[in-house]
Amino acid sequence: MAILVTGGAGYIGSVTIERLLARGEQVVVLDDLVRGHRCALPADIPFYQGKIGDRQLVARIAREHALESCIHFAALIEVGESVLDPARYFENNVGHGIELIGELIQAGLRRIVFSSTAAVYGDPEEIPITEQSRKWPKNPYGWSKLFMERVLDAYDTAYGMKFVALRYFNAAGATENRGEDHRPESHLVPNVLAAALGQQEGIRVFGNNYPTPDGTPIRDYIHVVDLADAHISALEHLRSGGHSDFLNLGTGSGNSVLEVIECAREVTGRDIPLRMQPPRAGDPARLIADPSRAKTQLGWRPAMSDLRTILRSAWDWRLRHPNGYAQG
Ligand SMILES: NC(=O)c1ccc[n+]([C@@H]2O[C@H](COP(=O)([O-])OP(=O)(O)OC[C@H]3O[C@@H](n4cnc5c(N)ncnc54)[C@H](O)[C@@H]3O)[C@@H](O)[C@H]2O)c1
């Protein structure tokens, strides 16, 4: 029996596959490679290049492999891009997502772990953010994820599709062989490390007048390996008959932009010049998870998510792959 991993050639998907394979799980990957990297995956695993919305292809994969579950990472993830081109985001993340899940139900599959996001909460009314906190996304990307959560909830009620929607906070870090290489890259950690390597002129800091101790926004950074392991725990939860759920994945504490840059200076031993910019519209001052529900429901604990470990692992990967993954 195999797990279908959509978006498996991307950052979090490829690390999760590494952890699944290490446990002896069978994996099949579906990715259109619009944003992912084929070489982020072992050459010998079953790989289908195509859209999750291609029902014929999904049906073929289900025929060719005995699928027992799906981990659904595939999505476009750039907030700014989603504001400029919401149609592309809704078509890709929601339209394609509905086709995928519809075909999986058709094929008899009833277990799915879904990549959701802290962006479903928008500007939070309370910190830390619990799963019950108000959900009102500030951009089409966040809405596309919240809508897919609603789809999953309705499909559980109607068709018995059991799911765990994992709302990640800020993923960062790397394993020895797999790291973060988004193109375009909007995430702080890889951009700070690119600045440390002299690949870009310093790091832009958007606003230093937020109501936080050093004036820069605070985010809850979670090591990609801890995230990957939460997917495995969620899968085990569903395999043992567990109920559907929505769970925050974060550490419960946060670091400011300046703290991340300072820690990166220490880890890399390099100068990282700052370029102060005006604040970005819609950037909340603080996004910090209350992860206690994931802990009680899945028995999951972040084990590698202190900032230094995250940055050390990301830097080691960057030094080995200064230009990211090879293309093609
Ligand atoms: N990176 C983060 O900090 C973060 C935070 C919260 C949530 N998430 C969610 O986690 C998931 C993975 O994020 P990531 O950082 O690994 O992103 P990523 O861009 O590295 O990976 C996404 C993968 O999905 C593929 N893809 C996109 N649309 C597709 C489609 N229609 N059909 C087939 N393949 C498609 C891309 O080619 C890519 O390989 C996403 O769903 C994202 O929304 C990420």
What does the pLDDT look like over 16-43, one tens digit per residue?
999 999 999 999 999 999 999 999 999 9
Tens of pLDDT along 224-264?
999 999 999 999 999 999 999 999 999 999 999 999 999 99
List the residue whose alpha carbon is closest to atom 9 of ligand 1. 115
Residues lining ligand 1, judged by CB closer than 6 Å?
A: 6-7, 9-13, 30-36, 51-53, 73-77, 92, 96, 115, 117, 168, 170-171, 182
CATH of the domain at 24: 3.40.50.720
Domain assignment present for 210: no
Domain assignment present for 32: yes
Domain assignment present for 209: no
> What whole-number distance in Å separates Cα of residue 247 and Cα of residue 136?
17
Domain assignment present for 271: no
pTM tops 0.85 = yes
Domain assignment present for 213: no
CA of 128 to the centre of ligand 1 (A): 25
Cα distances from 240 to residues 54, 99, 171, 235, 298, in angstroms, run: 30, 27, 27, 9, 11
CA of 102 to the centre of ligand 1 (A): 20
Domain assignment present for 312: no
> What whole-number distance in Å separates Cα of residue 204 and Cα of residue 215?
14
Total tally of structural domains belonging to the chain: 1
CA of 313 to the centre of ligand 1 (A): 21
Tens of pLDDT along 152-197?
999 999 999 999 999 999 999 999 999 999 998 889 999 999 999 9
Tens of pLDDT along 126-150?
999 999 999 999 999 999 999 999 9
* Closest-lying ligand 1 atom to the alpha carbon of residue 35: 37
Q: What's the domain range around 131?
A: 2-172+221-249
Q: State the chain's mean pLDDT as an integer.
A: 97
Find the largest Cα–Cα distance for the chain.
56
Domain assignment present for 154: yes
Domain assignment present for 86: yes
- Whether 328 shows a pLDDT value over 70: the answer reads no
